[in-house]
Structure 1
Amino acid sequence: MNRRTFLKKTFGSLLAFAGASGGTYYYARDIEPAMLAIRRETISSGRLPAQFDNYRIVQFSDTHIGFQYTVKQLRQLAIEVNELQPDLIVFTGDLVDRPDLYNWNDQLIDALRTFDAKDKLWIYGNHDHGGNGTTILKNLMNKAGFTLLLNEHQIINRGNAAITIAGIDDMSLGRPDIDAALHNAPSEHFTILLSHAPDFADIARSYPVDLQLSGHSHGGQIRLPFLGSLYTPSYATKYIRGKYDFNDRSRNLDLYVNSGIGTTRLPYRFLCKPEVHCYTLSNKV
């Protein structure tokens, strides 16, 4: 769906709701986009070492700074993330909405530095590559203490045990390569894949991956009762929000799709609050 069609359909639906209730437009523009939800999930697997019991991973995604979301709001987000006391923070792409138009400055780096965890990892989203943002984002996130996983993996150690976190490039504007990402990764490790695009799960399910964390869809951003999301971007059309299970092989894959923080194209959220995921690992099944 092109931008014009998206805008036409979305505006039409919003106007219909606004006609039914004068407060709907105000709510979708000014209220719900600020209603952050903390989604707490327990990831249970017998493949997890006992040393990773109660290990906490916090995921945030799709801030799209510069469209509706601000650096000041990012600082507040960091406070709320840090209150969850994460061992690992992962950002699954789309930091800035329009890298070619954004006024880059050290305030954004300082805000990102305030996210506090032993390990901070991130991957590219489609907006990160757009507008010549690829190198800018890489340098900025590096200064902020985030490590890029670009078709590669990192071993996370705890005591004498370890798990693997792999990350791939964006499906839309990048070159995702899961074979490279998992090359020489220990097959016995519990393995988490970071993919901006949730529909990549259809590929990941054939690989030794236990858990995929994604964003990109914004959960639909605008959802209507009984109809669900009006629109989701390419590579987020099958898996849109929440948890999906793939149990068709011996090593089952779980997918979680984060609805993101910011907005894009239109500055509205309706029945789709911005969210942060907090995952607690458990080796008790």
Structure 2
Amino acid sequence: MLKRLLKFLLFLLTIAMIIAGFLAYGMFVSVERVNLNYQSAASSKIPKSLNNVQIAFISDIDYNAYMDKTRLSKMMKRLNDAHPDVIIFGGDLFYAPEKQMPDETKQQEVTEILKKLDAPLGKFAVLGEQDLMNADIKNMVSSILYNSDFEMITNQLVRIRKGANASISLIGLDSMIGGQPDISKAFQNVNANEFNMVFTHCPDLIAQLPTNNINVMVAGHSHGGQIALPLLGPLHKMSGAEAYNKGTYKVQQTTLSVSNGLGTRDTDVRLFAPPEIIIYRLAAAK
């Protein structure tokens, strides 16, 4: 009887140590390590001049919480070392700025870090719901992005070229939460014969989009749940990312990639949902 009790207690102790180990990893290791998630987009619509071009997507920096200058600098250095041609920011620069407006020091820190990002074919941005809490916050975030050499593409289409007239289209849409996505305006100059990529904050907006004209869509917002268990998936799903909250999906003719983002909210922990930068490599298929 005593041996059985000891074995049972040893089993419980082992389980407790495993759980403690996972929690320690999620709190002290995973939150610092950014994962470069490489995706490939192959299409005959991609011109040869843009073959192997890399488009990087970053989102949910949440600088006002646990993200600080040291952590963000390391993550952005990792991005620069990947040598992307285009960088897209997908929204939520600061965490809860309506409760604690970032002071000038924090604003300057973020500006200096983002300005160092190098993307020869352009740096573009759309906003998230935390960037749109009020006019002052929107103006502050827009100013930081402008001073960091990002071009806002809210409800706009821009064409990317590289040494030739042939192009692909990047379509930016405002956040479905807190924003005013104008789909008609954003898609008014879409060419169905071009390769079209959509960037927005909330992935569930895809249900309102003409997916027959979208090859790839990339969004953030969900944080991947921050804690996602095998088989069960994210423990927490946010409005705007309930149907699509983590990973890559095929929605009719569109490939949808949902980033885990970079920062954390509420608690500084990530488990099976590491900080993530999605990098799409274009492949001109014959």
Classify the TM-score, shorter chain. 0.7 to 0.9
CA contact (8 A) 1:59 1:276 kept: yes
Kindly state the Cα deviation for residue 28 of structure 1 after the two structures are TM-superposed. 2.1
In 1, Cα distance between equivalents of 2:114 and 2:33: 21
Say whether the 8 Å CA contact 1:113–1:144 is kept in structure 2: yes
3-state SS in 2 of match to 1:33: coil
Residue 192 (structure 1) shift: 0.8
More deviation, 230-239/28-37: 28-37
Match of 2:21 in 1: 23
CA distance in 2: counterparts of 1:90 and 1:276, whole angstroms: 10
Q: Report matched runs for 1:1-285 at 5 Å.
A: 21-100=19-98, 101=100, 102-104=102-104, 105-118=107-120, 119-130=122-133, 132-158=136-162, 159-206=164-211, 208-247=213-252, 252-284=253-285
Retained in 2: the 8 A contact 1:151–1:176?
yes
CA contact (8 A) 2:60 2:263 kept: yes
What is the CA distance between 1:240 and its match in structure 2? 1.3
Q: Aligned partners of 1:151, 1:178: CA distance in 2, in Å? A: 7
Counterpart Cα distance in 1 of 2:50 and 2:234:
36
**Aligned-pair CA distance for 1:21:** 2.9
The verdict on how the C-alpha distance between 1:121 and 1:235 changes in structure 2, with shifts beyond 3 A counting, is same
The answer to whether the Cα contact below 8 Å between 2:123 and 2:149 also exists between their aligned partners in 1 is: yes
Q: For residue 256 of structure 2, what is the amino acid of its counterpart?
A: L
- Structure 2 Cα separation of the partners of residues 106 and 261 of structure 1: 19
Tell whether the 8 Å contact from 1:18 to 1:24 is kept in structure 2 after alignment: no
User: How far off its partner does 1:186 sit?
Assistant: 3.3
Cα 1:182–1:205 shift into 2, 3 Å:
closer
For residue 42 of structure 1, give the secondary structure of its aligned residue in structure 2: strand
Alpha carbons 1:213, 1:255 under 8 Å: kept: yes
CA shift, 1:184, in A, is 2.3
Question: Is contact 2:50–2:161 with CA below 8 Å preserved after alignment?
Answer: no
1:6 corresponding residue in structure 2 = none
Question: Partner letter of residue 89 of structure 1?
Answer: I
- Distance in 2, matches of 1:53 and 1:226, equals 36
Give the deviation of 1:47 after TM superposition.
Answer: 1.4
Q: Which structure 1 residue ranges, 5 or more long, are not aligned?
A: 1-16
SS of equivalent residue, structure 2 residue 137: helix
SS at match of 2:168: strand
Cα distance in 1 between the residues matched to 2:20 and 2:214: 47
TM-score, normalised to structure 2, is 0.87
Question: Which protein has the larger Cα radius of gyration, Structure 1 or Structure 2?
Answer: 2
Instruction: Give the corresponding residue for 1:11.
Output: none
Q: Provide, for residues 120-150 of structure 1, a one-character-per-residue CA deviation record: whole Å limited to 9, x for no partner.
A: 0111011111254111111110011001111
Q: 3-state SS of the aligned residue for 1:54?
A: coil
Please report how far the alpha carbon of residue 18 of structure 1 lies from its aligned counterpart in structure 2 after TM superposition: 6.4
- Aligned length, in residue pairs: 265
Cα distance between partner residues in 1 of 2:239 and 2:210: 19
CA contact (8 A) 1:75 1:114 kept: no
Gaps of 5+ in 2: 1-14
Structure 1 stretch 209-218 or stretch 22-31: which is displaced more? 22-31
Structure 1 residues 42 and 206: CA distance shift in structure 2, 3 A: closer
Alpha-carbon distance between aligned partners in 1 of 2:249 and 2:34, rounded to the nearest angstrom: 22
Amino acid at match of 1:123: V
Q: Does the aligned pair in 1 maintain the 2:50–2:282 contact within 8 Å?
A: yes
For 1:24 and 1:18, the matched residues in 2 are separated by 10
